A and B are shown apart, each in its own frame.
Chain A
C-alpha cells in the first residue's frame, strides 16, 4: 500500500513539475512576445493567403522625411503627427486589380488616432481600435499605427480582400493604444458634436478651419488640441479647444488671439486680462468668442447670436 502511495506521489510530483515547466515556458514565450518590440514590417507578412490575390513583392519603405518621395505635398500631414516610418505593399488579383497597403508608424498611439480623425465618414467596422471603410478605402488605427488600404476600383471581391488584409494587420498589433486625453474634455456624448478632430499644429487647424496665416494660437507639437462642429438651434458652430503645457501660454495666446483677430474692435485692458472671456460680432453678422480656463483656451466661431456663442463656451468650459 505504502509502495503504491510512493509511486502515485512520485508520479504526481513529476506531473506537477511537468505542468509547471509547460506553464513557465508558455509564460516566457508570452512575456518575450510582449517585450520584444514589434517590427512594423512584420505587420505586412501575411500568414494566410487570399485566393486569386497575390503578393507582388513590391515593397516600399520610407523613414522620416523620405515620405515626401511617396506623398509629394501630402507628407506634411504625417509629419505633424510624429511620423516615424511607413511601408507600402501591393497585391494584385488575376483580373489585374491592385490593392495598396500603407502602414504608417507614428511616435505614439494618440497621434495615430490624430491622423485617423482627419476624416471618419464612412462605414465603421470592427477592425483595429477604430476603422472606416468607404469606396474602396479602408482606414484604421491601432496602437501607434495608422493603416490605409486602397483599391482603384471597388467591387465585392476587392472589398472583401481589403477587409481581409486589414484584419490580418490589425490582429498582429497586440496593443490597442489609447486615445488622446484631451478628448475626455469634449462633450462627445451629445449627438450635436460632429466631426471631432485631434491635432497639434496650425497647418492642421488651417485644414479644418482656416484662422490666420500666422500661428496666432501658438500651436506646436506640444499643444494638444481638438476641433469639432456643434449643432444647436439649427446653427452649426465651430469649437476649438486647446490645452497648453503651461497656463502662461494659455494667457499669452488668449491675448494674442484677441489682439490679432479682433484687430478692428475697441479692446479694453479688462478684455485682455479678465477671465470672463470675450465675445464679438464679426463678418456676416456671426459671433466669435474666446474663454480661458487654466491651461485651456476655448474658441467658438460661427454663432448666429451672442447667446449661442456664450452657451457653447459655457458648455465646453464646464467639461474642464
Chain B
C-alpha cells in the first residue's frame, strides 16, 4: 500500500485529513506537520496578544488529578458544598505534592496576585467556584482582586460569583480582565461532548475570553470555527492567556456525554468527578477518554465522539500547549 505525501513543497496540504487518518492514528502527525501554514488570521497585533507556538514545550510528564465522591451529588443532582471543599483540597494537595492546602495553593498562586477565575456560564457548578475563591482568600488574595467571569459578564470577589453584572471590556479583542487586570488565571470549565468541537474542557474554555469571532469566520480576529474547531486552541496559545494560566479545574460532576452544548437530560451523567492540572491539554485528554468510555458503555459498542476533538491534539502538536499522549500523562485517581 503506497502512502502519498500529505504536504506539497510549500508545506500546504495536498489532500484532506479523513476518518481513515484517525483510524490509522496518523491524523495528528499530519496536523503537526502543518506548523508552517499561517492560519492565525490575527493581522498586525502585538506578539503577546497573538497565538504563538510555545518554544519550551513540555518535556516531562503532565500530572492530572481526578477526584471522585459518591456523596458529592444528592438525588436531585445538587452538589454538596462540604464534599466539594474536600475534593478540591485533595486535588490541589495531590497536584502540588503538599500536605497542607494553603501551601498547595501558594505553589500556584501568590497572595499578591490578582486572579481571574474563568467559568463557563450556565454550566460550571458554582459550588466549585466558591471553594476555589475561598481558598484564594485563605492564602491572602484580597477579595477585590478576584474576578469571576465568562464572556462579558464579570463579578468581583466572593459576591461576584453570583452577581456577574460588571463588564471590563476588551483590548485587542481579549478580555481586559486578562490583559489589564489579572496576573494569574484559573479556568473552571464543565466538560461535555460538543457537537462542533468534539468536547469542551480546559483548552476550549478560553473561547469565552475573547471577542471578534463569528461562526462563519468572516472578517474576524480569530479564525476558529472551521475544521471542527481545530484552531480553537489558538486562543489558549495567546501568550497573555497561556502564560498567566496557573491551574485548570474541570467540573466533571455531571458531564454531558452527547449532543452538547444544548442540554439533553438523557445524556447527563452523574460522574461525580473533579479534575485538576496545570496542563490544559492533558486534563482534556483524560476528559476525552472518560467521555468516550461512557458513550461506549451507553450504546454497548463503540460510539465515537463526532467530530473528533482535534483541537486537543492541535494544541499539543502544533502549539506545544501540553501533552495529549496518555503515555505522557500521570493520572492520579482518588475516591473520597
> A-side interface residues toward B, CB under 8 Å?
65, 68, 71-77, 79, 118-119, 121-122, 134-137, 148, 150, 153-154, 203, 206-214, 216, 236, 259-261, 263-265, 282-284
Q: Which listed residue, B194, B261, B265, touches A136 by the CB 8 Å rule?
A: B265
Beyond A77-B195, A203-B196, whether A211 also contacts B262 by CB under 8 A is no
Q: Which listed residue, B17, B77, B304, touches A213 by the CB 8 Å rule?
A: B17
Beyond A121-B266, A206-B306, A264-B4, whether A283 also contacts B261 by CB under 8 A is no
Beyond A74-B261, A137-B264, A213-B17, whether A206 also contacts B2 by CB under 8 A is no
Closest B residue to A71 by CB, please name it.
B262
Q: B307 an interface residue at 8 Å Cβ cutoff?
A: yes
Contact between A154 and B265, CB atoms less than 8 A apart:
yes
CB distance from B260 to the nearest CB of A (A): 7
Number of interface residues of B (CB under 8 A): 46
Beyond A213-B16, A283-B20, whether A134 also contacts B266 by CB under 8 A is yes
Q: B151 an interface residue at 8 Å Cβ cutoff?
A: yes
Contact between A261 and B20, CB atoms less than 8 A apart:
yes
Residues 90 to 122 of chain B near chain A (Cβ within 8 Å): 121
CB distance from A124 to the nearest CB of B (A): 14
* Interfacial chain B residues near A122, Cβ < 8 Å: 266
Contact between A211 and B261, CB atoms less than 8 A apart:
no
Residues 281 to 318 of chain B near chain A (Cβ within 8 Å): 301, 304, 306-308, 310
14 further interface pairs, Cβ-Cβ under 8 Å (given A68-B215, A74-B196, A210-B19): A73-B194, A77-B195, A135-B264, A150-B263, A153-B76, A154-B265, A209-B19, A210-B307, A212-B18, A213-B18, A213-B227, A261-B20, A265-B1, A282-B23
* Binary contact track B139-177/A, C-beta < 8 Å → 1, others 0: 000000000000100000000000000000000000000
* Interfacial chain A residues near B151, Cβ < 8 Å: 72
Beyond A207-B306, A283-B24, whether A212 also contacts B16 by CB under 8 A is yes
Contact between A119 and B23, CB atoms less than 8 A apart:
no
* Interfacial chain B residues near A207, Cβ < 8 Å: 195-196, 306-307
CB distance from A188 to the nearest CB of B (A): 22
Q: B22 an interface residue at 8 Å Cβ cutoff?
A: yes
* Interfacial chain B residues near A206, Cβ < 8 Å: 228, 306-307
Closest B residue to A284 by CB, please name it.
B23
Interchain CA distance A203-B208 in the complex, whole Å: 22
Interchain CA distance A98-B207 in the complex, whole Å: 29
Can you list 15 pairs linking A and B with CB atoms under 8 Å apart? A65-B214, A71-B261, A74-B262, A203-B196, A207-B306, A207-B307, A208-B306, A209-B306, A210-B306, A211-B18, A212-B18, A216-B18, A265-B1, A283-B24, A284-B23
Interchain CA distance A207-B310 in the complex, whole Å: 13
Contact between A72 and B121, CB atoms less than 8 A apart:
yes
Contact between B215 and A76, CB atoms less than 8 A apart:
yes
* Interfacial chain B residues near A118, Cβ < 8 Å: 259
Q: B45 an interface residue at 8 Å Cβ cutoff?
A: no
Contact between B196 and A263, CB atoms less than 8 A apart:
no
* Interfacial chain B residues near A79, Cβ < 8 Å: 215
CB distance from A183 to the nearest CB of B (A): 22
Q: B10 an interface residue at 8 Å Cβ cutoff?
A: no
CB distance from B190 to the nearest CB of A (A): 12
* Interfacial chain A residues near B196, Cβ < 8 Å: 73-74, 76-77, 203, 207
* Interfacial chain A residues near B77, Cβ < 8 Å: 153
Interchain CA distance A206-B1 in the complex, whole Å: 27
Closest B residue to A100 by CB, please name it.
B263
Contact between B266 and A213, CB atoms less than 8 A apart:
no
Closest B residue to A203 by CB, please name it.
B196
Closest A residue to B306 by CB, please name it.
A210
Contact between A264 and B19, CB atoms less than 8 A apart:
no
CB distance from B112 to the nearest CB of A (A): 33
CB distance from A136 to the nearest CB of B (A): 5
Closest A residue to B197 by CB, please name it.
A73
* Interfacial chain B residues near A284, Cβ < 8 Å: 23
Contact between A264 and B261, CB atoms less than 8 A apart:
no
* Interfacial chain A residues near B23, Cβ < 8 Å: 282-284
Q: B327 an interface residue at 8 Å Cβ cutoff?
A: no
Beyond A76-B196, A206-B228, whether A216 also contacts B304 by CB under 8 A is no
Contact between B308 and A210, CB atoms less than 8 A apart:
yes
Q: B230 an interface residue at 8 Å Cβ cutoff?
A: yes
Interchain CA distance A119-B306 in the complex, whole Å: 14
Contact between A264 and B1, CB atoms less than 8 A apart:
yes
Beyond A206-B228, A213-B227, whether A134 also contacts B265 by CB under 8 A is yes
Interchain CA distance A75-B195 in the complex, whole Å: 10
Interchain CA distance A283-B230 in the complex, whole Å: 23
